[in-house]
Structure 1
């Protein structure tokens, strides 16, 4: 039986991170389908499962790899943004973030009340920063 399944899957795409993401989306939709528009959620869940199974058994491997690469780029971008936001929240007691007026790079400055002169490390522009508590 295992050999037959292995033979059937030969040349097919199989599982990847997008497949796992689609399953997570399915279970999120399943959770919310109890309270919000159950008919619509059921339709979306069916569509997600059909698409996931289609991708798994597809023989067009190059296209499936491209789809997975796009998915990973989006997810990794969201993770990076989330990490930066979390770091900014953790830094609230000790740091302040300001943008350079010349090159728009975000600078992490110590939290000292008053007006301070600072220099951008990227473009070396000096500018004045006002920090309030």
Structure 2
């Protein structure tokens, strides 16, 4: 009974809050990796960085300003570009990179994917209709 009550209170607390977005998860994972390194390195500055990263991740998760956190998350993910797929799902990204080659349309910069191992292929951009050739 107490566990259900705790779950309900936690759900009520998180209602209207940001939750764990990609940036918060990245900050948390980076903090975990640095904490493991800190166990062996034993550097005070590294401990401070770990604590700050954890605090930043928790701040993002419980922040009630969802619009601002979403805007920050999109700005960072936009800068990361191709690494974004790796951050979201590393096993799927590895499989994707083995099976497909990614290229940009010379006209509109839309990313298109082409199956690997097909030689010279003619690609039509789904956004602007530009036709171009590339090696897969």
TM-score (norm 1): 0.54
Correspondence for 1:15: 20
1:78, 1:9 → 2: CA distance? Answer: 29
Report deviation, 1:17: 0.8
Classify the secondary structure of the residue corresponding to 1:33.
helix
**Residue 76 (1) aligns with residue 81 (2):** yes
Q: Distance in 1 between matches of 2:83 and 2:64?
A: 30
Pairing 1:41–2:46 present: yes
CA offsets, 1:70-112, max 9 Å, x none?
22113334469xx9xxx9xxxxxxxxxxxxxxxxxxxxxxxxx
- Structure 2 residue runs of 5 or longer lacking an equivalent are 86-92, 98-131
Contact 2:24 2:61 in 1 (8 A): yes
Q: CA-to-partner distance for each residue in 1:13-60, whole Å, 9 max, x for gaps?
A: 111111110111102211222444610110000000111111111111
Does residue 24 of the first structure (1) align with residue 29 of the second (2)?
yes
CA contact (8 A) 2:77 2:84 kept: no
Partner of 2:62: 57
Aligned positions, number: 85
Which consecutive unaligned segments of at least 5 residues does structure 1 have? Answer: 88-121, 123-133
Structure 1 or 2: more helix by fraction: 2
**How well do the aligned residues superpose, as a CA RMSD in angstroms?**
2.6
TM-score by length of 2: 0.53
Rg larger in structure: 1
